[in-house]
Amino acid sequence: MTNEVAKFGKKLREARLKKKLSQGDMAKILGVHRTYISGLERGRRNPSLLTVQKVAKALSISPKELL
Is the pTM higher than 0.95? The answer reads no
* 35 lies in some domain: yes
Q: Would you write out the chain's pLDDT as a tens digit for each of its 67 residues?
A: 578 999 999 999 999 999 999 999 999 999 999 999 999 999 999 999 999 999 999 999 999 999 9
Total domain count for the chain? 1
| Alpha-carbon distance values, 4 to 32, 35, 40 (Å) | 22, 20, 12
Instruction: Return the CA Rg of the chain.
Output: 10
* 67 lies in some domain: no
* Counts of helices then strands in the chain (DSSP H, E): 5, 0
Whether the Cβ atoms of residue 42 and residue 5 lie closer than 8 Å to each other: no
pLDDT at 12: 97
pLDDT at 1: 57
The overall longest dimension of the chain from CA atoms, in Å, is: 27
* 18 lies in some domain: yes
**Residue range(s) defining the domain that contains residue 41:** 3-54
